[in-house]
Amino acid sequence: MKATFTLSMSWLHTWGGLVVGWVLFAVVFTGTLAVFHHEIEEWMRPELHAEEMSAARGLRVAETYLKHNAPKARSWSIALPEDGLVTVRSGGGRRAKSAVLNADGEVVTSRDTAGGEFLAGLHANFRSRGFGTWVVIACGLFMLGAIVSGIVVHKRIFRDFFTFRPGKGQRSWLDGHNLVGVATLPFQIVIAASGVLINPVSIMPAAVETAFKGDDGAYFDSIYWGPYRREAAHRPAAALPLPELVARGEALLETPVESLQISHPGDANSVVTLHGDLESRLTKMDRWVSLDAVTGRLLDGQLDYSGATTTSGVIVGLHLGTFGGAGVRWLYLLLGMASSAMVATGLVLFIAKREPRHAGKDQAWFVKAAARINVFACAGLIVACAALFWTNRLLPLDLQDRAALEGRIFFWVWVVCMLHAVVRPPRRAWTEQLAVTAALCLALPVLNVATTGAWFATYAMHGDVVRAVVELTVMIAGGLLGWLAWRVGRAGKQAPASKARPRVAVGEA
């Protein structure tokens, strides 16, 4: 225990921040990229390109396809058109078959890729359910602890509210860390708290244990009972046209329909369940209605939830940031990048403060090791993310388990970065890894032209805004990382002259 509360908080902030920071950077950075995981997925599947398609046409195309290809399936699912493509699915469980159709009803196939989902999975649980989830939850809890202890330690929040003094070595890192920390404070509190609470049953199992005897399924059934189910009549009957049922559903849901499920298609007891679009809602709780497919009568539905469930849905919505369209997601991306910068500057600050202090002492080995871990935990991860875009284009399309291989290459690139950080001096390793990432990002359009014949300019000319923006953003990020690599390299050359600069008092960090 330290002498004062502030010193205890400083100790917690410093050491908790360092140990968790290495993993936290990966969680925050991949989470930031995952904000646009659908768009990244779209860029990574260049074959899925189609003209605009209306919802009515999408329904017609889907119904025709399913009637021809799965007439006896127990259920059909249709996700209404997105980017000119409609996704259909027949049957359930392992026997389920899905297809993506264009406006002409043709099946569109695309490469097997890890895609943006890989980044989202990495953010959620390091692609390892159970243990990975707990690691991420622990990171979120530590992040909340670091935020609170950081507020306590940073005594001059309001006085330094607009302060950033560049080119002053350790002082600049501290200013940068404090600035992004304070500026993004509301965002970070929301993201860290919602990230922890997004799995309420995992972190607070006592309620389910007590009220439902530990039966998670019974708990979920009590809050969400959809969709309506009934046995087949084994009697054929003509169903109402799907556009008419969708129109009824939209009137009941008061939002556009996003997807629908049809159980026992063609049967007298067929049920159509329509799910409302959640994109424009802060609460991410499924709103659905089940209609009799033959008569159009309302059978069941769930439009409202209890206060606690709605709160839980709002927490999910706040974490995902999908409630306000692209505008809010851009805000999330920028603030996520700022949060990643906060974690990274905190890690660098730890080294900047201790390197001169511990030089030649027994603890020097730890500072040296931490400096190397910093490099591959931050720069190495960014290299691996850039490499993911390259492997998506470079791996042969007919490769078995292609998506899994992309994921493995991602981790191998990260391991190579770790080895590189071990053998090179830390500052050089930072410069080189940032420079490699910049090169990978800036050369991405060249690779894209070479492998698919398209790049951001052709995407833009054909009105493919999503892919154009993804590629342009990667290029801009490449430019920024190149500038950063140049600055770090230049600072390395000037480093000996900066040794005489005054240190910062412990309480200020």
Q: Which residues bind another protein (CB under 8 A)?
A: 159, 161-166, 179-180, 182-187, 190, 280, 282, 318, 323-324, 327-328, 330-332, 334-335, 338
- Shortest Å distance, C-beta 10 to another protein: 24
Q: Which is nearer to another protein, 136 or 179 (CB)?
A: 179
- Shortest Å distance, C-beta 306 to another protein: 18
Q: Which is nearer to another protein, 33 or 179 (CB)?
A: 179
Q: Which is nearer to another protein, 190 or 472 (CB)?
A: 190
- Shortest Å distance, C-beta 43 to another protein: 23
Q: Which is nearer to another protein, 264 or 329 (CB)?
A: 329
The conformation of residue 507, written as its DSSP 8-state character, comes to: G
**CA distance to 8, 41, 259, per residue, from 366 (Å):** 21, 40, 54
- Shortest Å distance, C-beta 179 to another protein: 6
E strands, 264-418, where? Answer: 271-276, 288-292, 298-302
Residue 378, judged by CB atoms within 10 A of its CB (0-12, 13-18, 19+), counts as buried
- Shortest Å distance, C-beta 323 to another protein: 5
Residue of 274, 299, 276 whose CA lies nearest to 287: 276
Q: Which is nearer to another protein, 74 or 168 (CB)?
A: 168
Residue 463 Ramachandran class (φ > 0 left, ψ -120 to 50 alpha, else beta): left
- Shortest Å distance, C-beta 312 to another protein: 15
- Shortest Å distance, C-beta 164 to another protein: 5
Residue of 353, 389, 394, 387 whose CA lies nearest to 370: 353
Residues 6+ apart with CB under 8 A from 1: 8
Residue of 430, 422, 320, 331 whose CA lies nearest to 381: 430
| Cβ pair 286, 253 in contact under 8 A | no
- Tally the residues of the chain: 509
Residue type for 248, please? Answer: R
| Cβ pair 279, 322 in contact under 8 A | yes
Q: Which is nearer to another protein, 45 or 329 (CB)?
A: 329
Q: Which is nearer to another protein, 108 or 282 (CB)?
A: 282
